[in-house]
Amino acid sequence: MKKVKSLVLAGLLAFAPALALNGQVLAQDNAVAAAPAADNAAAPAESAANAAAPAAEAAPVAKVAAPPRMKPTEGIGMPRPGEVTLQEQFSPTGHTARWLHDVLLLPLITIISIFVLALMLYVMVRYRRSANPVPSKTSHNTLIEVVWTVLPVVILLVVAVPSIGLLADQYKPAPKDALTVKVTGYQWYWGYEYPDNAIPEYVSNLLPEDKAKANGEPYLLAPDNRLVLPAGRPVKLIITGADVIHAFAVPSLWLKMDAVPGRLNEKSVFIEKPGVYYGQCSELCGARHGFMPIAIEALPPEQFDQWVLSQGGSLKGATKTAQAAPAAAAVVADKKI
Ligand SMILES: [Cu+2]
């Protein structure tokens, strides 16, 4: 009887973690189900952020109409069907990176791979047992040894110089006059705030499939509210996470930075051309990780200013005002901690 009892107990213990886990999964599913409802509730307040409709009725200060929502260009700022290489680049660092990949690294690894393969095939055929019954007993060849030591060192040096340059470029701080935008990753959407322009945070959620199709935008890459930035002006992104680690990534701008809770990561961006550039959260962050897209709408500078005014923001922020200074100081202070 005792044995039966202990068997039952052992069985219960063995299955307990699984049962507990099931409960958790259910709880998470419920949370996911509840999330869209919460998002929808928040939507009306947020939808003014990037809508074509003027927000004038809601905010008496803003009498300027927002510029119309920019249409994306097929294949620009998004992957192309069948594409196997890097996306076309629209930032100076992107061009350097693309050059390093296309002109230096890819040809180099192709040549090395083909050379090694050819050498192996030649050795296998030329020195097979039937063709070479008495193998050579040579164990040293100074010339070959020098060549196969020096040549790889030279190749590594040739690769290292532009690589280190690119690395430094990627982490170069933004100039002092850059526009500061704060990006926050949430489970599972993004928040954008413009401390320089006194525009409070608005959120950006996945655009449902029917709406994305109706807009002519790529589903799963298109959000409802975009991150609006000026083209041709330096921008400083302050990137953080509110709950877990996310990553803010836009491949066509050579832009990727982790969004870590409790830390403010900085990334300098310069967008060369107006357009819509798509990206996604690139750090596995939970159940709806694949459903938190990013779209940067880069507007010509005058249109960007118009957008700022349409959101009730101020333009003075860009050239440091009394208003913007405390916000900027807070950011710097946070960073030091
Ligand atoms: Cu994420």
Mean pLDDT over 50-54 rounds to 43
The tokens describing 246, both together, are 């996310």
Same structural domain for residues 184 and 328?
A: yes
The number of folded domains in the chain is 2
Q: Which residues make up the environment of ion ligand 1, defined by Cβ < 5 Å?
A: 246, 281, 285
Domain membership of residue 290 (yes or no) is: yes
Ligand 1 centroid distance, CA of 250 (Å) = 13
pLDDT bin (cut points 50, 70, 90) of residue 316 is low
Ligand 1 centroid distance, CA of 76 (Å) = 23
Same structural domain for residues 198 and 323?
A: yes
Same structural domain for residues 152 and 198?
A: no
The reported pLDDT for the residue numbered 131 is 93
pLDDT bin (cut points 50, 70, 90) of residue 301 is very high
Ligand 1 centroid distance, CA of 243 (Å) = 10
Reply yes or no on whether the pLDDT at 195 is more than 70: yes
Domain membership of residue 39 (yes or no) is: no
Mean pLDDT over 5-27 rounds to 43
The reported pLDDT for the residue numbered 50 is 47
Same structural domain for residues 184 and 257?
A: yes
d(CA 276, CA 295) in angstroms, rounded, equals: 7
Same structural domain for residues 96 and 194?
A: no
* Type of residue at 184: T
The reported pLDDT for the residue numbered 64 is 84
> Each residue of 143-188: pLDDT tens digit?
999 999 999 999 999 999 999 999 999 999 999 999 999 999 999 9
Ligand 1 centroid distance, CA of 193 (Å) = 18
Ligand 1 centroid distance, CA of 72 (Å) = 23
Ligand 1 centroid distance, CA of 196 (Å) = 25
Domain membership of residue 187 (yes or no) is: yes
Higher-scoring residue by pLDDT: 27, 123: 123
The reported pLDDT for the residue numbered 47 is 44
d(CA 276, CA 253) in angstroms, rounded, equals: 11
* Type of residue at 245: I
Mapping DSSP onto H, E and C, the string for the chain reads: CHHHHHHHHHHHHHHHHHHHHHHHHHHHHHHHHHHHHHHHHHHHHHHCCCCCCCCCCCCCCCCCCCCCCCCCCCCCCCCCCCCCCCCCCCCHHHHHHHHHHHHHHHHHHHHHHHHHHHHHHHHHHHCCCCCCCCCCCCCCCHHHHHHHHHHHHHHHHHHHHHHHHHHHHHCCCCCCCCEEEEEEEECCEEEEEEHHHCEEEEEECECCHHHHHHHCCCCCCCECCCEEEECCCEEEEEEEECCCCEEEEEHHHCEEEEECECCCEEEEEECCCCEEEEEEECCCCCCCHHHCEEEEEEECHHHHHHHHHHCCCCCHHHHCCCCHHHHHHHHHHHHHC
> Each residue of 241-296: pLDDT tens digit?
999 999 999 999 999 999 999 999 999 999 999 999 999 999 999 999 999 999 99
d(CA 120, CA 304) in angstroms, rounded, equals: 59
The reported pLDDT for the residue numbered 132 is 93
Domain membership of residue 123 (yes or no) is: yes
For the full predicted model, state whether its pTM sits above 0.75: no
Mean pLDDT over 57-79 rounds to 79
Mean pLDDT over 56-67 rounds to 63
The reported pLDDT for the residue numbered 63 is 74
Higher-scoring residue by pLDDT: 261, 314: 261
Mean pLDDT over 310-337 rounds to 53
Same structural domain for residues 158 and 266?
A: no
The reported pLDDT for the residue numbered 290 is 96
* Type of residue at 313: G
Ligand 1 centroid distance, CA of 179 (Å) = 24
Question: How many percent of the chain have pLDDT more than 90?
Answer: 71
Ligand 1 centroid distance, CA of 84 (Å) = 24
d(CA 91, CA 88) in angstroms, rounded, equals: 10
Same structural domain for residues 185 and 332?
A: yes
Domain membership of residue 206 (yes or no) is: yes
Same structural domain for residues 249 and 109?
A: no
Computed over every residue of the chain, the mean pLDDT equals: 82
Ligand 1 centroid distance, CA of 38 (Å) = 18
Domain membership of residue 250 (yes or no) is: yes
pLDDT bin (cut points 50, 70, 90) of residue 315 is confident
Question: What CATH number does the domain containing 211 carry?
Answer: 2.60.40.420
Ligand 1 centroid distance, CA of 98 (Å) = 26
Ligand 1 centroid distance, CA of 60 (Å) = 35
Ligand 1 centroid distance, CA of 172 (Å) = 25
Domain membership of residue 12 (yes or no) is: no
Ligand 1 centroid distance, CA of 270 (Å) = 23
Ligand 1 centroid distance, CA of 62 (Å) = 33
> Each residue of 220-229: pLDDT tens digit?
999 999 999 9
Domain membership of residue 297 (yes or no) is: yes
163: domain range?
92-128+144-170
Longest CA–CA span in the chain (Å) reads 95
d(CA 45, CA 50) in angstroms, rounded, equals: 11
Same structural domain for residues 238 and 273?
A: yes
pLDDT bin (cut points 50, 70, 90) of residue 41 is very low
Same structural domain for residues 309 and 197?
A: yes
Reply yes or no on whether the pLDDT at 24 is more than 80: no
The tokens describing 122, both together, are 């030649």
Same structural domain for residues 326 and 243?
A: yes
Same structural domain for residues 152 and 253?
A: no
